[in-house]
Structure 1
Amino acid sequence: MKLQCLALSVLMATAFNAQADIPENNTDILLQGFHWTSASYGNWYTQVAANADEIADAGFDMIWLPPPTQASSDEGYLPEQLNDLNSNYGTETELASLITTLHNKGIEVLADVVINHRNGTGSWCGFANPSWSTQAITSDDEAWSASGSDCSGTAGNADSGDGYSAARDIDHSQSFVQTSIEDWMNSTLKGVGFDGWRYDYVKGYSGSYVGIYNNATSPSFSVGEYWSTLCYYNNSCSDGSYPNAHRQLLMNWIDATGGTSAVFDFTTKGLLNRALETYDYSVLKDSDGKPQGAIGWWPSHSVTFVDNHDTGPSESCSSGQNYWPVPCDKVMQAYAYVLTHPGIPSVYYAHYFNWNLGSQIKGLMALRKAQGLNSNSTVTIDTAKQGLYAAYIDGKVAMKMGSTSWSPSGSNWTLYQSGNDWAVWYKAG
C-alpha cells in the first residue's frame, strides 16, 4: 500500500501541474539576497543595490529579499506592523529604489512573507497597522495561559499547523485575517514593487491558505519553507520509509496549495549534508534510480539549495546561525550537484559574495543556462556509493562528487570546471 500511496501522490502532482502557476521546464535561478546578520548592516538594501550589476551578470532571474516589515526582532521574523516597510534592512524608499534597480536589470523580486505568527504592538495581543481583534489569535496559542500575558477577549479557532511560541499564532480561517493579509500583499508589498513570495514557516498553518493567498495575489513565483526533521537511513530511524516519508510531507504541502507554490527541497538538503559529511553518496539515489529528494518526485515544484540564513553560516564559516550546515569545505561540491540537477536552484548570498565562491558558482550557472538545463531535466545516475556520486543530466552534462576517480563514458566530453572532489563536464557537438 505504501508504494501505491506514493504513486498516487505523484499522479496528484501531475494533475495539479495543469492548474499551477509554477512553470514547467523552468530555467530560472534564485538568489537569496541576504544572510542572518544582514540586518546589522543598517543599509542592506543599498548594499544589494551596489551588487545589482553582478547579480544580473551572473544570470540570476529572481532574488528573495528579507522580511520587509517593521518587527520586534532585528532580522524581521517577528513582524509587528505589517504595513510599515521601514525595517533594520533599510527604509521603504531604499527598498523601492532597490526593487526598481533590480527590475531594470530583468530580475524579479520575492518578499519574505511571515504570516504564521505576529507580535502585538505594545502588548502581547494588540495588533496595529493593520488592526486585528483577538480572534486573529489561535485558541491554542500560549498567550491565553502564559504567565505575564495581557491577552483577553475572544480567541480564534485552533491552529491548523505547528505552534510557534515566540509570537502569536495567527488563525487564517478568519475571513478578516485573510482579507487583511491579501490587502497587505496586493497593496503594500506589490505597491513597493514585489513580484512574488517566499512564505516563512509554512508548517505552522495549512497549505490551503497559501493557495488562497496566491490565488488572490497572482505572484510571479511562490515558494514555501517547510522545514521538518529528516531521519537518515541507518541513523536511529524508527520508520524505514525515510526519506520517502520526509519528501511525502513536501508533496502533501504542495498539493494543499493547489499546486500554486513550489517548496524548498529540505529532503535534498539533508541528504546532501549526510553525503558530504560521510562521503556515502548512496543516500542520493532512491530505489527507482532517481534523485532521493523532492526533485525525484516533483522537480518543477522543488527549490534546491545548499544553505540559507537559518541552516548555514553568514559572512564566514564561524558566523551566523549554523543550525544545519553543509560542511564548509564541501560547499562547492553541493553547488556542483544543485546547479546541474533538476529543480529550481537557489544560491546563498553569503556563499557568492562573502566566501569568494562567486566566480565558481557563476561558472556553473553559465553552464546550466548554456546547456538548457531546467527544473524537469532528466538525471541518469551512473554511480552512487561510498566515495563517488556520478550522473548525466539530459545527456548533455556530466558531474561527479567524491574522492574516487571518474569520467564520463563516450566521446566529445569536455571538462568544464572542477574543484576539490568535484568536476563537471559538457558534451560538445
Structure 2
Amino acid sequence: MKKLGLLPLLFSLFLANVATADEVTPVRNGDGKVILLQGFHWNSSRNETETWYALLAHMAGQIGIDGFTAIWMPPPWKDTSSWVDSNSGTSGGGEGYFWRSFDKNSQYGTDEQLKTAATALNRAGVKVVYDVVPNHMDDTKGDVPLFPRGHGEWRHECDKCDDGDPFIDGNSDLNIKYASVFETFKKELINLRNNYGAMGLRFDFVRGYAPQNVDRWMNAFGNFQFCVGELWKGPSEYPADDWRSKASWQDALKDWSDRSRCTVFDFALKERMQNGSIAEWRHGLNANPDPAWRAAAVTFVDNHDTGYSPGRYGGQHHWPLPEELRNQAYAYILSSPGTPAVYWPDMYDWQRGELIRQLIKIRKDAGIKADSPIRFHTQYSGLVATTTGDRQSLVIALSSDLTKLPPGLTDPALIWDGGKIRLWSTAPEQPAVSVHFTCDYATTYPGQSVYAAGSTLELGAWDPGHAAPLTYNAQSKQWSGSIDVPAKQDIQWKCIVRNNDSSAAVRWQPGPNVSFTSGTASETRGTF
C-alpha cells in the first residue's frame, strides 16, 4: 500500500471529520417534523385578562392536542421600555426586544409563571423554543450592569467593532465579537435550557451578528436542538460589492443557514406571497429542488412584526398578507415542505383554527417532512402541487382550474373557501423520472401545436386544455419533448392537436391509447 505523507494524511482526516459532522447535523431542524406555533403576538405582554405565561400554562394541553410539536415563546428577559406613535398608529414596549436584564419577571408574567408554563408545554409534547435577542438591548436608563460602557462591549466603542448590521443607529447595539459578551449570552442560553425548559432557540435580528456565532452558541446549548434565525433582509439591502446584492432571497437565506447550521424563516416565500401571484409561491426556499434547501426553511404567513395583532393599534403590521390570501397561504405551508410556523392570532383569535387543525392532521397523516419532495404542475392556473410524505402524497390546488382528476384523486380530503382550497391524499408518489414523448405524422395549421394528453396530472389528466406541449423539430418532422412523471406508474396517453389558446376542436390520435410504465420505459411514441 502506498504511504501518505503527514500533511496529506492530516488533510484527509480533516475532510473525513468535516464530512462526518455535516452528516450528523446538516441543519438543526429537529427531526424534520416540527410544526411550530408562534406562542405570542405584539400585544401579548399587554394581555388584559391574565398574564401571558398563565394563559400559556392552561392552554398547554390544547396546544398539544391541536398538533403543534414546538412553541416559539416570547423573549424571556425583562423589558421596561414603552413608546406610542399616534401619528403612525403604532405602539410598543415590554415585548422583550428592548430588554434591560436577564430577569425573568417580565410583562408576560413572573419567573415562576414562566417555569410553570414551560413545564406544562413540554409535558404536553410541545417543545419550548425561546426567542433570544443578543444583538441589542435598552441602555437608555443609564449604565447597564451586564455590559458597562467603555470596555468594547458596544458597537460604537471602536472602529468596526461589530460583525453585522447596526440596530437602528447602532447606539444600543452589542458587540458580539467581544469575548465577554459572547460568553455572557452563552451562559444565559444554557441557563434557559437547564432551568426554564428550553429545547430550542429562535434568534432575533440575525443580520446584526455573524452566523458563526449562532453556530457556536448552539454547540454549547445543544447541537441537536432546534434553532431558527430571522434574516429579514432583501437583496437590495446588501452593499453593491456584496454578492448577495445580486442574488436571490433564497441564496442569502441558505448562505446564512449553512454558516449557522440553523433553519431560517422563509422570507423568499413571504416575499412572493406579498408581491407575486399564487403560482409564484413555488419560488420559496421551501420548494427548492435541493432537499437540503427545503430542510432549512421555516415557512410562515405572518408573525408579530409582519402581521396584525389583537389589541392596541393592531400591533406592528409592517408586511401583512391580505386577508383574502391567508387561508390559502396556510393550506400551502401546511401541505408543502419546510417547517411550518403558525401565528397565534390566526390559530386562537381569528376563527381560522379549525382549518389549521385539519391541515395539521392531514400533514401528519401523510408524513410530510421539512425536506419532502414537491412537484408543481404549472399547466394549471393558480397553484397545483404534489408533496410526497413517508405515508401518503398530498395534492393541493389553490385558486386553480384543475378539474379532471387522475385515479385516486376523486375524494378531496379538504375543500375550503368555496373550492379555492382543495386537497387530496393519495398513495405515496415515487420520485419523478424524465420520459421522452414523440408524436409522428402530426399535421398542424398556423396557431396550432401538438400536445401529449394522458392519465397523469403532468399530462392534464385527459384534459386537452392542460395537456403537456411538445416542440417541433423541423429536421425530423416530429413533435417531441421530455416530461417529468412519477416513477413506477402505468401511464396511458395520446397525441393531440389543438389551438395554442385551447380554443376550438381537438384532434386526437386515432386508435388505442399508448401505454408504458414510467421508470421502465424512458421513451414513448404516438402516431397520427
Into which bin does the TM-score normalised by the smaller protein fall? Answer: 0.7 to 0.9
- Opposite residue 122 of structure 2, the aligned amino acid is H
- 5+ unaligned residues in a row in structure 1: which ranges? 1-11, 142-153, 232-240, 286-290
Q: Which residue matches 1:91? A: 110
Question: How far apart in 2 are the matches of 1:362 and 1:267?
Answer: 25
In the alignment of these two chains, the number of paired residues is 381
The equivalences for 1:339-350 within 5 A come to 339-350=334-345
| Structure 2 residue 147 is matched with structure 1 residue 135 | no
- Opposite residue 74 of structure 1, the aligned amino acid is G
Q: Which has the higher strand share?
A: 2
Contact 1:251/1:294 (<8 A) preserved: no
- Opposite residue 194 of structure 1, the aligned amino acid is A
Report the secondary structure of 1:223's partner residue. strand
- Opposite residue 249 of structure 1, the aligned amino acid is A
Deviates more, 1:399-408 or 1:344-353: 399-408
- Opposite residue 356 of structure 1, the aligned amino acid is Q
User: Over aligned residues, Cα RMSD in angstroms?
Assistant: 2.8
Question: How far apart in 1 are the matches of 2:141 and 2:407?
Answer: 68
Evaluate the alpha carbon distance shift between residue 13 and residue 67 of structure 1 in structure 2; reply closer, same or farther with a 3 A threshold: farther
Cα displacement string for residues 140-169 of structure 1 (whole angstroms, at most 9, x for unaligned residues): x3xxxxxxxxxxxx5475221111127511
Contact 2:153/2:178 (<8 A) preserved: no
Report the secondary structure of 2:326's partner residue. helix
Q: Which residue matches 2:174? A: 170
The equivalences for 1:56-135 within 5 A come to 56-71=64-79, 72=81, 73-82=93-102, 84-120=103-139, 122-123=141-142, 126-128=143-145, 130-135=146-151
Contact 2:105/2:111 (<8 A) preserved: yes
Query: How many angstroms does 1:134 deviate by?
Result: 3.3
Contact 2:235/2:248 (<8 A) preserved: no
The equivalences for 1:105-254 within 5 A come to 105-120=124-139, 122-123=141-142, 126-128=143-145, 130-139=146-155, 141=156, 155=158, 157-165=160-168, 168-188=172-192, 190-218=194-222, 220-229=225-234, 245-254=248-257
Contact 2:152/2:158 (<8 A) preserved: yes
Contact 1:315/1:355 (<8 A) preserved: no
Question: How far apart in 2 are the matches of 1:109 and 1:330?
Answer: 29
Question: How far apart in 2 are the matches of 1:415 and 1:318?
Answer: 40
Question: How far apart in 2 are the matches of 1:326 and 1:424?
Answer: 22
Query: How many angstroms does 1:74 deviate by?
Result: 1.6
Question: How far apart in 2 are the matches of 1:78 and 1:364?
Answer: 36
Contact 1:225/1:264 (<8 A) preserved: yes
Query: How many angstroms does 1:409 deviate by?
Result: 2.6
Question: How far apart in 1 are the matches of 2:267 and 2:312?
Answer: 21
- 5+ unaligned residues in a row in structure 2: which ranges? 1-17, 82-92, 237-243, 429-528
| Structure 2 residue 324 is matched with structure 1 residue 332 | no
Q: TM-score, normalised by structure 2?
A: 0.67
Question: How far apart in 1 are the matches of 2:34 and 2:382?
Answer: 28
Report the secondary structure of 2:151's partner residue. helix
Question: How far apart in 2 are the matches of 1:256 and 1:423?
Answer: 38
The equivalences for 1:395-414 within 5 A come to 396-402=393-399, 404-406=401-403, 408-414=405-411
| Structure 2 residue 310 is matched with structure 1 residue 310 | no
Q: Which has the higher contact order (CA 8 A, sep 6+)?
A: 1
Question: How far apart in 2 are the matches of 1:13 and 1:266?
Answer: 29
Cα displacement string for residues 258-282 of structure 1 (whole angstroms, at most 9, x for unaligned residues): x2x111111111112234xxxx334
Q: TM-score, normalised by structure 1?
A: 0.81
Q: Which residue matches 1:53? A: 61
Q: Which residue matches 2:495? A: none
Structure with larger Rg: 2
Query: How many angstroms does 1:76 deviate by?
Result: 1.1
Evaluate the alpha carbon distance shift between residue 413 and residue 137 of structure 1 in structure 2; reply closer, same or farther with a 3 A threshold: farther
Report the secondary structure of 1:345's partner residue. strand
The equivalences for 1:255-274 within 5 A come to 255-257=258-260, 259=261, 261-274=262-275
Cα displacement string for residues 94-136 of structure 1 (whole angstroms, at most 9, x for unaligned residues): 000001111111111011100011222731xx222x3445334
Evaluate the alpha carbon distance shift between residue 155 and residue 194 of structure 1 in structure 2; reply closer, same or farther with a 3 A threshold: same
- Opposite residue 61 of structure 1, the aligned amino acid is T
Evaluate the alpha carbon distance shift between residue 339 and residue 136 of structure 1 in structure 2; reply closer, same or farther with a 3 A threshold: farther
Question: How far apart in 2 are the matches of 1:217 and 1:67?
Answer: 17
Query: How many angstroms does 1:216 deviate by?
Result: 1.3
Question: How far apart in 1 are the matches of 2:235 and 2:320?
Answer: 14
| Percent identity between the two aligned chains | 30
Query: How many angstroms does 1:18 deviate by?
Result: 4.1
Q: Which residue matches 2:35? A: 29
Query: How many angstroms does 1:292 deviate by?
Result: 3.7
